[in-house]
Amino acid sequence: MSILKTFKLGGIHPKEGKLSANSPIKVFPLPKTVYIPVSQHIGAPATVLVAKGETVKTGQLIAKGEGFISANIHSSITGKVAKIDEIVDSSGYPKKVIVIDRANEEIWCDNIINSDPNTTKEFTPEEVKQKIREAGIVGLGGATFPSHVKMSVPEGKTAEYLIINAVECEPYLTSDHRLMLEKGDEILKGISIMMKTLNTKKTLIGIENNKKDAIEHLQKLSKNYSGVEVISLKVQYPQGGEKQLIDALIKKEVPSGKLPIEVGCVVQNVGTAFAVYEALYKNKPLIERVVTVTGDSVKEPSNFLVRIGTPIESLIEAVGGLPETVAKVVNGGPMMGKALSNLSAPVTKGTSGILLIDKKEASRKIPKNCIRCARCTMVCPMGLAPYLLENLTNRKLFESSEKEGIMDCIECGSCSYTCPANRALLDMIRVGKSEVNTIRSKRVKK
């Protein structure tokens, strides 16, 4: 057996918990009401285009992303705008949402093709970027960075590789896994569109070795596409981190503070590739996504194709309601997801899973003295010294922590996960990062 590729620094291997890996994607019933946030992406919130009482069709543009880094928002159902409201989402803050009550009959926007098109239509790069932008596509791995921005290679740089992030290194989540098994062809079509747009000859699809069926499936399909290679990776968290994945696949380090294009790479999530296919061949904007609903005491861990704006509580009801033993609900995976205070918060473009955590795992343990075991430095994938960054934050030495590379932290949580003294290392690093950000913005003003 050959040695599987992986990234070189640090990493952990938490229990995988992929309970829903064998549950085919089910189409989730249309909700009575959807709550569609105008900011589901990194960048400026979209500007609302509809007013209360207005009737909207499925796929209709309801909020427009202004400025380069922003994304369009579309109605995910047919109905009437009930109000423009605020709702507390997984950030813990109230966010502006467009509330739409569903009409009985679903009417799709005219140009959307709702069957499987058998087309090999060619597009110019400008058309592709335009359509990706119009469709409101963002990085579906969870970072939700607007995809059209990534598709625009800055002048003087070339995209030698398109890297498809199909790692799904977060425990429990299986939405990308199921998508690869069920929509492999569409994903590969989306990939070839992106390759042409980026003028890239080589695509690497990185998949962790705990998804052997997906690896085999895509390997078989990719034979019909030139320059597309599926690479099986060792199971190691956080391999889905952009910089870690590039390192694992092509052994290049993205320099600190720089983007992947610096080493000739554009990284897109596998779900994003599928969304690109839908946008180009079906004119379908991003109004639905696959969401894993899972947890150790969930009776039927499932994968649903869910319309954006569906309340999370209805997803929980669909898997048998909130079990008695559950004490925490997480939007995302167990390593980087956000704990929800409000279960009526909606599914957004970045929601890859809803994880129900049992009481025994939900609370933190009491922190003790650091025993200087150095495990945090050994597992940090960015080669930082988390114990030191925590200490510098406690002592309010933010300038020093900036020198120690605190801004390189990708917040993967490996340090807190590993710490035998139960210290909240990442919490303190987050505090430090936000202080350094403040210092930096003051510096710019001067």
Partner 1 sequence: MGQSQLIISHSPHIKGKDSIESIMYGVVIAMLPALMASAWFYGIGALKVVIFSVIFSVIFEFLIQKYLLKIEPTVKDGSAIVTGILLGFNLPSSLPIWMIGVGALVAIGIAKLSFGGLGKNPFNPALVGRVFLLVSFPVEMTSWPRPLDTRTMLSIPDALTGATPLGLIKEGVAKGEPIAEIMKNAPSHLDALFGAIGGSVGEVSALALIVGGLYLLYKKIITWHIPISFLGTIAIFSGVFWLIQPEKYVDPLYHLLTGGILLGAFFMATDMVTSPMSKLGMLFFGAGAGLITILIRLFGAYPEGVSFAILIMNAIVPLINIAFKPKRFGEVKNG
Contacts to partner 1 from residues 73-112, by CB under 8 A = 92
Q: Which residues partner with 205 through β-bridges?
A: 164, 230
Q: Considering only 32-40, 55-63, 96-104, 255-263, which stretch makes contact with partner 1 by CB under 8 A?
A: 255-263
- C-beta of 52: minimal distance to partner 1 in Å? 28
- Does residue 334 belong to the site contacting partner 1 (CB under 8 A)? yes
**Interacting positions 144-183 with partner 1 (CB under 8 A):** 171
CA-to-CA dists, residue 339 to 90, 126, 356, 370, angstroms = 7, 39, 10, 26
CA distance 177 to 303: 10
Tokens of 405: 């590379």
For residue 407, give the nearest of 374, 433, 368, 387 by alpha carbon: 433
Of 112 and 410, the one with the shorter C-beta distance to partner 1 is 410
Q: Considering only 47-55, 62-70, 76-84, 327-335, which stretch makes contact with partner 1 by CB under 8 A?
A: 327-335
Contact 112, 282 (CB under 8 A): yes
- Does residue 250 belong to the site contacting partner 1 (CB under 8 A)? no
- Does residue 236 belong to the site contacting partner 1 (CB under 8 A)? no
Q: Considering only 114-122, 154-162, 270-278, 405-413, which stretch makes contact with partner 1 by CB under 8 A?
A: 405-413
CA distance 134 to 73: 9
E strands, 346-385, in order: 353-358
Of 330 and 392, the one with the shorter C-beta distance to partner 1 is 330
Of residues 24, 67, 94, 255, which one binds partner 1 by CB under 8 A?
255
- Does residue 9 belong to the site contacting partner 1 (CB under 8 A)? yes
CA distance 304 to 318: 10
- Does residue 397 belong to the site contacting partner 1 (CB under 8 A)? no
- C-beta of 310: minimal distance to partner 1 in Å? 17
**Interacting positions 367-396 with partner 1 (CB under 8 A):** 368-375, 377-378, 380-385, 387-388
- H helix intervals, 292-337: 312-318
**Interacting positions 411-430 with partner 1 (CB under 8 A):** 411, 413-414, 416-418, 420-422, 424, 426-427, 430
Tokens of 430: 């987050």
Of residues 104, 111, 223, 365, which one binds partner 1 by CB under 8 A?
365
Tokens of 415: 């340090």
Of 55 and 377, the one with the shorter C-beta distance to partner 1 is 377
- Does residue 402 belong to the site contacting partner 1 (CB under 8 A)? no
Of 15 and 223, the one with the shorter C-beta distance to partner 1 is 15
- C-beta of 84: minimal distance to partner 1 in Å? 24
Work out whether the CA dihedral 272, 273, 276, 278 comes out positive or negative.
Answer: negative
Q: Which residues partner with 204 through β-bridges?
A: 163, 229
- H helix intervals, 223-301: 242-250, 270-282
Of 160 and 262, the one with the shorter C-beta distance to partner 1 is 262
- Does residue 217 belong to the site contacting partner 1 (CB under 8 A)? no
Q: Which residues partner with 48 through β-bridges?
A: 63
| H or E element that contains 134 | helix 125-134
Q: Angle at Cα 331 formed by Cα 325 and Cα 337, nearest 5°?
A: 100
- C-beta of 116: minimal distance to partner 1 in Å? 38
Of residues 355, 389, 392, 406, which one binds partner 1 by CB under 8 A?
355
**Interacting positions 42-61 with partner 1 (CB under 8 A):** none
Q: Considering only 43-51, 178-186, 189-197, 326-334, which stretch makes contact with partner 1 by CB under 8 A?
A: 326-334
CA distance 247 to 86: 41
Of 24 and 255, the one with the shorter C-beta distance to partner 1 is 255
Residues with Cβ within 8 Å of 108's Cβ and at least 6 positions away in sequence, in order, are 57, 58, 59, 78, 114
Maximum alpha-carbon separation in the chain = 64
For residue 161, give the nearest of 206, 124, 119 by alpha carbon: 206
Of 176 and 404, the one with the shorter C-beta distance to partner 1 is 404
- Does residue 336 belong to the site contacting partner 1 (CB under 8 A)? yes
- C-beta of 376: minimal distance to partner 1 in Å? 9
Of 62 and 167, the one with the shorter C-beta distance to partner 1 is 167
Quickly count: other Cβ atoms within 10 Å of residue 417's Cβ: 17
* Count of residues interacting with partner 1 (CB under 8 A): 75
